Amino acid sequence: MYDIVIIGAGTAGMSAAIYAQRGGKKSLMLEKLTYGGQIINTPDIENYPGIAHISGYEFSEKLYRQASDLGVKLEHGTVSSVEDEGGLFKVKTGDNSEFTGRAVILATGARNRHLGIARENELVGKGVSYCAACDGMFFRKKDVAVNGGGNTALGDALYLAGICNKVYLIHRRDQFRGAERDAEKLKVLDNVEFVLNSTVTKLNGDTKLESIDVTDKNSGAVKTIPVSGLFVAIGQEPENGAFANLVNLDAKGYIVAGEDCLTGHSGVFAAGDCRTKSLRQLTTAAADGAVAATAACEYIDRL
């Protein structure tokens, strides 16, 4: 029996855990993979106030140590359902474990969006990757492509430019969504080539990726680019289906909750990228964790 069950141990979940424990509430983090969430894949974080540079991995480690030193428990499991049994929440996982909490914080983040083209799944680990920080070194001195125009794609391209022979940055528009500063850094690198207004339409190679077909959206022209790695960085999608009985989801599947992290279901709070919000960043995930945990502590104190 816990005071607060936190579903997800990314930046929002771990920040919530720190605030919950410091608020005197016994807390559990439930995580399906390893703690850290999306940011663990970011090679270099430059926009967290007070920290000029840190890798996503190191940031996650520090956050986890801070939470676990305060006594937060971490259990592994994929949450399959959350039931409100008269103010006590029963959280069930895929392996039939069950945890009970007086409040629940949903901090499930989002998963990598896939291109949805033929052979994508088959070639994962054979050239197709969703994590430059994890897999980049396998492509040392080779030619690779990054697909996407957000902060992840720009960060990945910068990181890969430092270890690969050549990096093609493929984006479906001619304007980047990610930070201008990173786009400017990429522009001056000799081994980076922008392929704009283009989408990846075909993956080629027998047993591993050897080249990609890229289609120009304006002319319809298709060109084949020889690469041994393709890093897909085209954003995230939420994974909130298991909570549809409990909270409202918007058309894209995000949990409807405002800056106060209240979901409309008493005792259930939503923090970080899993909720409706205008800016999904490390700072806003951490801030949400603090807001949600403080609200959950106040809720429990009122019970």
Distance CA 9, CA 17 (A): 9
Of the candidate residues 152, 240, 263, 294, the single one contacting ligand NAP (CB under 6 A): 152
Does the footprint of ligand NAP cover residue 253 (CB under 6 A)?
no
Among 21, 280, 286, 295, binds ligand NAP (CB under 6 A): 280
Query: Is 62 strand, coil or helix?
Result: helix
Nearest alpha-carbon partner for 192 in 184, 200, 181, 180: 184
| Residue 131 falls in the annotated catalytic set | yes
Range list of H helices, the chain: 11-22, 56-69, 132-135, 151-161, 180-187, 282-302
- # chain residues binding ligand NAP, by CB under 6 A: 23
Residues 39-68 that bind ligand NAP (CB under 6 A): 42, 45, 47
Helix ranges, 111-262 (H): 132-135, 151-161, 180-187
Hey, what are 96's tokens?
């039939």
Contact pattern from residue 188 through residue 227 relative to ligand NAP, giving x for each residue in contact according to CB under 6 A and a dash for the rest: -----------x----------------------------
Name the one range near ligand NAP by CB under 6 A: 10-18, 86-94, 149-157, 211-219.
149-157
Residue 173 interacting with ligand NAP (CB under 6 A)? yes
Question: Which of 55, 235, 248, 253 touches ligand NAP (CB under 6 A)?
Answer: 235
Three-state DSSP state, 171 = coil
- For residue 164, indicate whether it is catalytic: no
SS3 (DSSP) at 100: strand
Q: What span, in angstroms and rounded, lies between the C-alpha atoms of 155 and 133?
A: 10
Catalytic annotation, pick one of 44, 69, 84, 135: 135
Q: Answer yes or no whether residue 136 interacts with ligand NAP by CB under 6 A.
A: no
The residue (of 186 and 300) whose beta carbon lies closer to ligand NAP is 186
Q: Which of 15, 21, 93, 151 binds ligand NAP (CB under 6 A)?
A: 151
In this chain, which of 36, 37, 77, 150 binds ligand NAP, going by CB under 6 A?
150
Residue 130 CB: number of other CB atoms within 10 A?
Answer: 20
Q: Which one of residues 271, 282, 295, 296 is an interface residue with ligand NAP (CB under 6 A)?
A: 282
Please give the order of strands across the beta sheet that includes 128-129.
128-129, 229-232, 143-147, 166-170, 192-195
Return the residues of window 63-92 that contact ligand NAP according to CB under 6 A: none
259/294 Cα distance (integer angstroms)? 13
Q: How far is the CB of 156 from ligand NAP (least distance, A)?
A: 9
* Contact status, residue 1 vs residue 30, Cβ threshold 8 Å: no
Per the residue annotation, which of 3, 95, 134, 156 is the catalytic one?
A: 134
| Bridge-based pairing state of the strands 236-238 and 110-112 | antiparallel
Residue ranges that bind ligand NAP, judged by CB under 6 A: 42, 45, 47, 113, 148-153, 155, 172-173, 177-178, 199, 233-236, 280-282
> Looking at the annotation, which residues are catalytic?
131, 134-135
